[in-house]
Amino acid sequence: MTGETHTSSEYITHHLQNLTFGRLADGTWTVAHTAEQAKEMGFWSLNLDSLGVSIALGVFFLFLFRRVAKRATAGVPGGLQNFVEWVVEFIDGAVRGSFSGRNALVAPLALTIFFWVFLMNFMDLISIDYGPKAAELSGLHFFKLVPSTDPNITFGMALSVFALVLYYSIKIKGVGGFLGELTMQPFQAKSIPMKLLFLPINLFLETVNLISKPISLSLRLFGNMYAGEMIFILIAVMYGASLLLGSFAGLLQVGWAIFHILIITLQAFIFMTLTIVYLDMAHQEHH
């Protein structure tokens, strides 16, 4: 959108559109040039920007921690090693406080989730115009830098956690124990007729409770980050309104960016903590 005049509505719509690859109605596989084409591609399409940035950040996280681990020293550690050790100890404390079972996967998973989500959220502090402008220079039409503002990414992570919850629920409790939790609580009875009466009610309530876990996990992260990105976009719109509003927008941008540091960290921590709690519930047997 460089060098062109656009309305505020067009500016906002452009910055909220992902770089989408998919199949058009005529059978052509291509990158969407308009929001209408992206919508036409439907469910079986890929948001290349969200996937590319999230994978790149994941690789950066692995590279950074591997480098620190290889260069770790028992002597006086450097600043980066100090930071990584502090984060690892913090995550270890969070796991010990929320997870009562024994599973070597939980702590590394919690560390990965926290840092990966934090890095994806951190991209929201980069100017919202950098992504679209870089895309234009590359001959592309759209590019969003914040993967966690894409519900496909947040749902993908939440469903992965949900799959682990189901796996360990069945592994620890067995198929019978898992089905028993779905059908024998919260309403319980000693007589068989009452048990049969409560069975469909319990199944409905527990199924809703189970399904709500990945939905709430994903939508909480998506909603908070999407709202934060929208505020940055609205502040950017103010720059083109007038000199007075532009000066006020500069103050707002700095203030919101400082406050947003807390939000992006808190959302990563919440996603990690809920993952630990859900896995802890999967490891507990109810009698």
Domain count for the chain, please give it: 1
**Burial classification of residue 190, based on how many CB atoms lie within 10 Å of its CB (0-12 exposed, 13-18 middle, 19 or more buried):** exposed
Report which secondary-structure segment, H or E, holds 47: strand 46-47
CA quadruple 230, 232, 235, 239: dihedral positive or negative? negative
68 located within any domain: yes
* End-to-end CA gap in the chain: 62
43 located within any domain: no
224 located within any domain: yes
**What is the C-alpha separation between 54 and 60, in angstroms, rounded?**
10
The answer to whether residues 107 and 95 touch, using CB atoms and an 8 Å cutoff, is yes
Predicted TM-score (pTM) of the model is 0.87
pLDDT in tens, the chain (287 residues): 444 556 788 888 888 888 999 999 888 899 988 888 888 898 889 999 999 999 999 999 999 999 988 887 777 777 888 888 888 899 999 999 889 888 889 999 999 999 999 999 999 988 888 888 888 888 888 899 999 999 999 999 999 999 999 999 999 888 888 888 888 878 887 888 887 888 888 889 989 999 999 999 999 999 999 999 998 888 888 877 777 777 778 888 888 889 989 999 999 999 999 999 999 988 887 65
- Residue ranges making up the domain that contains 219: 51-141+148-283
116 located within any domain: yes
3 located within any domain: no
Residues noted as catalytic: 216, 220, 224
Tell me the sheet residues that pair with 53: none
- Nearest 10 degrees: CA dihedral of 249, 253, 259, 261? 170
Q: Which of 5, 1, 12, 3 is nearest to 234 (CA)?
A: 12
And the tokens for 251?
């103050």
11 located within any domain: no
Helix (H, G, I), strand (E, B) or coil at 22: strand
9 located within any domain: no
